[in-house]
Homo-oligomer: A and B are copies of this chain.
Amino acid sequence: MQKSPLDAYAILRKRFSEDIKGPLTRAMLTDCFAASLRFISRVPKTPLLSLVPNKKYFAFSFKKKLSRAVNADLYSADLSEWESFTQNLVPGKIKGFDAERITRLIYTVAMSFCCSVDLLRVGDQKTPGTFFEYLIAHLFASQLQSNPKTRIQVMNLDDVEMYLPTDFTFNLGPDRPKFHLPIKTSTRERVIQVWAHQRVLDGVFGTGRFLGTPVILAETKTNKSSGEVIEICLPEQWRIYQLHIAQLKRIYYLDVPATYDRLNDVFPPVHVKPFGEFFFEAEALSL
């Protein structure tokens, strides 16, 4: 019998940390994508009423349940696209894929699994969030050819060893960039945590030593009774955090909210980009 999305995820969860950047993790992610497509491709789609300019959204529906909102222009179910991408994923020289095509593919991998869980479980926010972490951490690690850590030893003048639990951090070695990678399916008011963790890293290791590059799936919210989709954005607060807490280098989205896109053009600049761009600028980010 073929695996369900949740069966495939259970295996990924068990063995993910063995080699985050490696071929085993990639094979387990491929299994999750394949299982999600098998399930979700047979499920009816319901159009939603998008209040976001220039974006169309739908939801999958199954046994009276409705999945999260899916951006119709970004979603294109295709397992061979993923296989072709991962075969060509050589750091710094991806052949045949531009940033837009990569963003769409990774959005689809994430959404097919997250929507499957929305329909198969009740009130489970954690499983989609953790899967999204695994997916992005693997791609990041694979591109940087380095496995991340999730805690860091902190200098202490007294006689106590202090460790700080962190989001994923990548240390590529002397004279090469270090990355601070928070991963969220959406942020809302909790986003201040990302700037606060960057502030701690700046304080402990020196300002700018770690490049803060959070990756976020989307900021949509669906009103279940009216079917209306909005994006919840806090651009004024982001500007205040970027001025007064710490500087993030990039904020990557799979489905970039229009409101945040405009922050590229104001002071203080907050550089918000589609995640696909990362694969072409990773090496240049520290320059």
**A interface with B by C-beta (< 8 Å):** 154, 158, 162-165, 190, 192-193, 195-197, 199-200, 202-204, 236-237, 239-241, 243-245, 267
Contact = CB atoms under 8 A, between A and B. Distances in A.
Nearest to A234: B165
A200 B165 contact: no
Contacts of A243: 203
Given A193-B192, A197-B192, A203 B244 contact: yes
A245 B245 CA distance: 8
Given A192-B193, A193-B192, A193-B193, A162 B200 contact: no
27 contacts: A154-B240, A158-B267, A162-B239, A162-B240, A163-B236, A164-B236, A164-B237, A164-B240, A190-B193, A192-B196, A192-B197, A193-B193, A193-B196, A196-B241, A196-B245, A199-B199, A199-B244, A199-B245, A200-B240, A200-B241, A200-B244, A202-B244, A203-B243, A203-B244, A204-B240, A204-B244, A245-B245
A28 B239 CA distance: 39
Main secondary structure of the interface of A (DSSP, over half): helix
Contact of A200 (B164, B245, B267): B245
Contacts of A245: 196, 199-200, 203, 245
Given A192-B196, A203-B243, 11 more contacts: A158-B267, A162-B240, A163-B236, A164-B236, A190-B190, A192-B193, A192-B197, A193-B196, A196-B241, A200-B240, A245-B245
A195 B240 CA distance: 15
Contacts of A244: 199-200, 202-204
A192 B196 CA distance: 7
Given A204-B244, A243-B203, A236 B196 contact: no
B196 A165 contact: no
A165 B237 contact: yes
A190 B192 CA distance: 10
A197 B236 CA distance: 14
Nearest to A196: B196
A9 to B, nearest CB: 23
